């Protein structure tokens, strides 16, 4: 990691919209519960892990849910956003939450398992990220990445403005040097940073099978507000919400795609 230029994570400062961002993160946790249940919890590497690091932990809802089911492990969460770290610290004293930037924080090799959940698409320097993961994991430790896979996102014909909003988001992220499908590039970079690809899964999650359609609707409502505020995009939120009301009544399949990557430190 010493050879990588230091780059700061894009800080999320929503000011008066802190509660909105908190809800956004909590909804993401609900949407991805089936991924943990199917792919994380049954795995031997998870069962044997004792010290867990969550990179980009947000307000802590994901780690809290995991800790409630696996209290025998030690948990640490880090995030660059001071507001969400304050929220996380206020929720529990049983998890260590730290305000840290992975591009400037020098960890010790102490973790068996590191989680990067919906983080990669926000990072401008994936080499630096893998260098950090390499530095904080014990020999043989595991890096577990879950991120979006937009090609499998089916919004349907009832909400074209929502699809357009995500298209604009992808362009805005590109302009900031990040990529919504950035997790795919980790496969190409893994060996360079002494990681072995243990497993790669691309999966479709369905509304009403893997999560509630109403939860997804609320996530879209909150997400578009966050996108508008964070990226200064000219979105007509009222029009998007009106289309989402129609979308919620439609029987057409609604899906999201996820990319799940398991890397082992060599």
* CATH number, position 182: 3.40.50.150
Note whether residue 39 is domain-resident.
yes
Give pLDDT tens digits for 176-225: 999 999 999 999 999 999 999 999 999 999 999 999 999 999 999 999 99
In a domain, 217, yes or no: no
Is residue 5, in this structure, part of any structural domain at all?
no
- Tell me: pLDDT of 66 over 70: yes
In a domain, 228, yes or no: no
Rounded Cα–Cα distance for residues 111 and 129 (Å):
15
Residue 16's pLDDT band (boundaries 50, 70, 90)? low
Number of domains, the chain: 1
CB 250 within 8 A of CB 158: yes
pLDDT band at 10 (very low <50, low <70, confident <90, very high): very low
Q: CA-based diameter of the chain, in Å? A: 53
Q: Are 247 and 159 in contact (CB under 8 A)?
A: yes
Q: What is the DSSP letter of 16?
A: G
- Range 217-240 average pLDDT: 95
- In the three-class reduction of DSSP (H, G, I as helix; E, B as strand; rest coil), residue 180 is classed as coil
Predicted pLDDT of residue 7: 35
Residue 245 pLDDT: 96
Q: What is the pLDDT of residue 208?
A: 93
pLDDT of residue 17: 63
User: What's the pLDDT score for residue 104?
Assistant: 85
pLDDT of residue 2 exceeding 80, the answer is no
And the tokens for 84? Answer: 């969400």
pLDDT beyond 90 at 4: no
80 pLDDT tier (thresholds 50, 70, 90): very high
Percentage, residues of the chain above pLDDT 90: 86
Sign of the Cα torsion 49, 131, 262, 255 reads positive
Residue 54 exposure: Cα atoms within 13 Å on the Cβ side: 26
Q: What is the pLDDT of residue 18?
A: 77
Residue 68 lies in a domain: yes
Q: What does the pLDDT read at residue 6?
A: 31
Has residue 129 been placed in a domain? yes
* pLDDT greater than 50 at residue 31: yes
Mean pLDDT value across the chain: 92
Residue 244 has pLDDT above 60, yes or no: yes
Lowest mean pLDDT among 6-15, 41-50, 63-72, 135-144: 6-15
List phi, psi (to 5°) of 9. -65, 145
pLDDT of residue 40: 98
Task: Work out the percent of the chain whose per-residue pLDDT is above 70.
Answer: 94
Instruction: Give burial (CB, 10 Å; 0-12/13-18/19+) of 162.
Output: buried
Rounded mean pLDDT of 57-62? 95
Full residue range of the structural domain in which residue 46 is found: 15-157+178-207+253-265
Residue 233 covered by a domain = no
pLDDT digits (tens, 9 = 90+) for 84-134: 999 999 999 999 999 999 988 887 779 999 999 999 999 999 999 999 999
Q: Is residue 216 part of a domain?
A: no
């Amino acid at each position: 990691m010493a050879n990588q230029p230091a780059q700061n994570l894009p800080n999320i400062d929503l000011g008066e919209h802190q509660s909105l961002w908190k809800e956004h993160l909590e909804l993401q946790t609900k949407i991805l519960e089936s991924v943990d249940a199917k792919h994380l919890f049954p795995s031997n590497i998870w069962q044997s892990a004792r010290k867990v690091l969550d990179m980009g932990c947000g307000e802590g809802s994901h780690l809290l849910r995991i800790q409630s089911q696996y209290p025998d492990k030690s948990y640490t969460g880090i995030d660059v956003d001071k507001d969400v770290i304050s929220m996380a610290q206020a929720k529990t004293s049983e998890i260590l939450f730290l305000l840290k930037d992975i591009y400037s924080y020098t960890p010790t090799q102490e973790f068996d398992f590191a989680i990067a959940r919906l983080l990669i698409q926000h990072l401008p320097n994936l080499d630096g990220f893998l260098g950090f993961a390499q530095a904080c994991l014990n020999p043989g430790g595991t890096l577990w990445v879950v991120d979006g896979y937009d090609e499998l996102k089916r919004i349907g014909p009832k909400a074209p403005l929502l699809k357009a909003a995500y298209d604009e988001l992808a362009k805005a992220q590109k302009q900031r040097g990040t990529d919504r499908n950035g997790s795919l590039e980790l496969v190409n970079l893994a060996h360079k940073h002494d990681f072995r690809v243990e497993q790669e899964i691309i999966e479709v999650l369905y509304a009403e099978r893997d999560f509630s359609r109403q939860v997804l609707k609320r996530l879209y409502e909150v997400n578009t507000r966050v996108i508008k505020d964070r990226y200064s995009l000219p979105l007509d939120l009222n029009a998007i919400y009106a289309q989402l009301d129609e979308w919620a009544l439609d029987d057409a399949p609604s899906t999201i795609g996820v990319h799940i990557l398991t890397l082992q430190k060599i």
